[in-house]
């Protein structure tokens, strides 16, 4: 299917209406369960963008939404505010990201307890990116040294449902793909109930990782992380920093689409096809990295059969 899409984008015969993107997919399987990731705003403009994004995507009835923590823990307070506001204003089940970066164990657990007090019992527990101005994670002298330690502490409270990160492409600091899987198993054994993966560009990447996890005895759900491509240049650079493999054909595809002013259409088609391949292989849940921009995620979900749920009272 990927090659068929590529051929379509290399010919002028492809004249699909942008308002009829659902025609990209046929013979669909059952619509997936979805979840969404947002990041906390750092400005008034960013706040409006976040709330507009949540407003557009909330009617898709996601299983949960998550709010990131910011590199080096830089948005700790903003994350807390966004999590509690989204939950109270939109009635969504919100999971807060929590990391080990630049905080003592007591400070980290205090943040967790503040979430519990606010009724937020879902946490995405992560080691976190290095603190600002550094290129390597260094634990706080009185902090958690790893995500496993953080998960054990959070699990010990009995108050939280914990999800963790996973890496279909080898994590930049991992010595091997097998080491990534082994570490994921440690996180699950420490108390996590599910994992959400880093984004990837080809279904085979996730499927190989899923097979390795099954072989290692991991039975917890592993939810593929999906990144609709808003800007190929920025996405490519981000992928390089994350260690995500970039297929060469994507450069060619977006070069052609950019020249023809069809990048958005290509992004929607590729993301929809990626999701479709995963669903065909038994995947039931998809986690979308929205980048606080709703249109592509909304369009892909629509093509997958995930549409807004309208109460009868709203149409009476």
Q: Which residues are catalytic?
A: 37
Q: Which of 126, 111, 53 is nearest to 78 (CA)?
A: 111
3-state helix, strand, coil in the chain (%, to 5): 50, 15, 40
Question: Which residues partner with 286 through β-bridges?
Answer: 34
Residues 225, 198: Cα–Cα separation, whole Å: 6
Q: Is 314 helix (H, G, I), strand (E, B) or coil?
A: helix
The radius of gyration computed from the CA coordinates of the chain, to the nearest angstrom, equals 20
Residue-wise over 139-171: b if at least 16 C-beta within 10 A, else e? ebeebbebbbbbbbbbbeeeebbbbbbbbbbbb
Residues 105, 107: Cα–Cα separation, whole Å: 5
The residue written with tokens 């699909």 in the block is 16
Q: Which of 61, 107, 94 is nearest to 163 (CA)?
A: 94
Residues 256, 162: Cα–Cα separation, whole Å: 42
- Go through the chain and tell me how many residues it has: 316
Question: Where does 173-262 have alpha helices with state H?
Answer: 177-190, 203-215, 232-242, 248-259
| DSSP class per residue in 261-312 | T-HHHHHHHHHHHHHHHHHHTT--EEEEE-TT-HHHHHHHHHHTT------H
Residue 82, H or E segment: helix 76-90
**Taking phi first (over 0 means left), then psi (-120 to 50 degrees means alpha), and beta for anything else, what does residue 287 get?**
beta
């Amino acid at each position: 299917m990927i090659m068929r899409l590529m051929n379509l984008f290399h010919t002028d015969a492809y004249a699909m209406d942008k308002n009829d993107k659902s025609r990209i997919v046929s013979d669909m399987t059952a619509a997936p369960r979805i979840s969404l990731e947002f990041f906390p705003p750092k400005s008034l403009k960013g706040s409006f963008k976040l709330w507009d994004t949540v407003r557009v995507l909330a009617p898709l009835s996601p299983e949960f939404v998550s709010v990131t923590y910011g590199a080096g823990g830089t948005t700790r307070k903003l994350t807390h505010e966004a999590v509690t506001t989204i939950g109270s204003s939109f009635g969504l089940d919100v999971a807060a990201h929590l990391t080990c970066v630049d905080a003592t164990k007591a400070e980290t657990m205090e943040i967790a307890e503040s979430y519990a007090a606010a009724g937020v019992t879902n946490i995405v527990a992560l080691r976190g990116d290095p603190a600002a101005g550094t290129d390597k994670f260094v634990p706080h002298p009185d902090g958690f040294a790893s995500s496993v330690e953080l998960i054990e502490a959070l699990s010990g409270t009995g108050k939280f449902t914990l999800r963790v990160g996973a890496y279909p492409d080898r994590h930049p600091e991992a010595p091997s793909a097998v080491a990534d899987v082994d570490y994921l198993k440690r996180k699950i054994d420490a108390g996590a109930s599910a994992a959400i993966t880093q984004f990837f560009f080809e279904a085979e990447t996730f499927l190989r990782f899923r097979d390795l996890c099954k072989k290692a005895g991991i039975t917890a759900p592993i939810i593929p992380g999906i990144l609709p491509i808003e800007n190929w240049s920025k996405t490519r650079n981000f992928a390089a920093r994350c260690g995500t493999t970039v297929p060469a054909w994507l450069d060619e595809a977006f070069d052609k689409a950019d020249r023809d002013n069809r990048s958005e259409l290509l992004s929607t088609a590729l993301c929809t096809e990626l999701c479709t391949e995963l669903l065909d292989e038994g995947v039931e849940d998809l986690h979308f990295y929205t980048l606080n921009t709703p249109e592509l995620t909304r369009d892909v979900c629509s093509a997958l059969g995930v549409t807004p749920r309208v109460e009868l009272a709203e149409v009476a």
